[in-house]
C-alpha cells in the first residue's frame, strides 16, 4: 500500500528511511541534517567509509539512533535546472527506483521517503511529487508499506492533489491511502 502523510520522514515507522543527501554523504541541512541529528555520530562515521554517491544512485547504512528503522538509504537527487528538465526527471526517477531496489535487496518490508530534491535542490514541487508518486506506485505491491512523508503542510496539500489526479485515493487514519 502507498501512503502520503504529513510529517517528517524521520518519524515514520518503516524498515528503511530514505535520506535526500548530497554527493559527499557527510550530512547537510534540510532532511539530511534532521536524519543525522536523529541517528547520531555512528551514521556519519559509516557514511565516511562509503566514498560519496552519484546523482540518481543510492547507498545504505544502519539507522543507529533512529530506532524504529533498520536502514537509512541515502540517495542524491538532481539540483534542478529548467535547461536540463528531462535529465533531472530521469535522475529523480532513478533516486526513487534505486532506493526501492536497495531496500528490497536488504529485505526491508517497508520504506519511507521525503520529497527528494523538492527543498534546497529546487525541483518544482508538483513535478517532483508526480515523479515520486508514479515510481512509488509501481513499487508499492513489493512492500508492505511505502510512505511519502511531506514535512511542510503546503507540500502535503500539493501531494494530496497530485495523488488524487493520478490514482484513486481515500483518507485513512494514517493519512492518504493511494490505490496504486
Ligand atoms: N525534517 C524532515 N523533513 C524535512 C526537514 C526536516 N528537518 N527539512 C526539510 N525537509 P531538502 P533536497 C523536507 O531540502 O531538496 C541538504 O542540505 C522538505 O520539506 O532536505 O533533496 C542535503 O545535504 C522537502 O520535502 O532536500 C543536500 O545538500 C524534503 O525534506 C540538499 O539539502 C527535501 O528537502 C538536498 O536537497
Atom of ligand 1 nearest to the CA of 76: 21
Domains and CATH numbers, the chain: 2-178 (3.40.220.10)
Average pLDDT over residues 79-103: 98
3-state SS, one letter per residue, for the chain:
CEEEEECCHHHCCCCEEEEEECCCCCCCCHHHHHHHHHHCHHHHHHHHCCCCCCECCEEEEECCCCCCCCEEEEEECCCCCHHHHHHHHHHHHHHHHHHHHHHHHCCCCEEEECCCCCCCCCCCHHHHHHHHHHHHHHHHHHCCEEEEEECCHHHHHHHHHHHHHHCCEEEECCEEEECC
pLDDT digits (tens, 9 = 90+) for 96-153: 999 999 999 999 999 999 999 999 999 999 999 999 999 999 999 999 999 999 999 9
Q: Which of 5, 69, 88, 114 to mutate to test the pocket of ligand 1 (most atoms within 8 A of CB)?
A: 114
pLDDT digits (tens, 9 = 90+) for 4-61: 999 999 999 999 999 999 999 999 999 999 999 999 999 999 999 999 999 999 999 9
Amino acid at each position: 500500500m502507498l501512503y502520503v502523510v504529513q510529517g517528517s520522514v524521520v518519524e515514520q515507522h518503516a524498515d528503511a528511511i530514505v535520506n535526500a543527501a548530497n554527493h559527499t554523504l557527510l550530512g547537510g541541512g534540510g532532511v539530511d541534517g534532521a536524519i543525522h541529528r536523529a541517528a547520531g555520530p555512528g551514521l556519519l562515521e559509516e557514511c565516511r567509509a562509503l566514498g560519496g554517491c552519484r546523482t540518481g544512485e543510492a547507498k545504505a547504512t544502519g539507522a543507529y539512533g533512529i530506532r524504529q528503522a533498520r536502514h537509512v538509504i541515502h540517495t542524491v537527487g538532481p539540483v534542478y535546472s529548467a535547461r536540463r528538465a528531462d535529465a533531472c526527471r530521469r535522475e529523480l526517477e532513478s533516486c526513487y527506483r534505486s532506493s526501492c531496489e536497495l531496500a528490497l535487496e536488504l529485505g526491508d518490508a517497508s520504506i519511507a521517503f521525503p520529497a527528494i530534491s523538492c527543498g534546497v535542490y529546487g525541483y518544482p514541487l508538483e513535478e517532483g511529487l508526480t515523479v515520486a508518486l508514479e515510481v512509488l506506485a509501481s513499487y508499492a505491491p513489493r512492500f508492505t508499506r511505502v510512505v511519502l512523508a511531506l514535512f511542510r503542510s503546503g507540500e502535503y496539500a500539493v501531494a494530496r492533489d497530485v495523488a488524487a489526479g493520478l490514482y484513486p485515493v481515500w483518507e485513512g487514519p494514517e493519512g492518504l491511502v493511494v490505490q496504486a
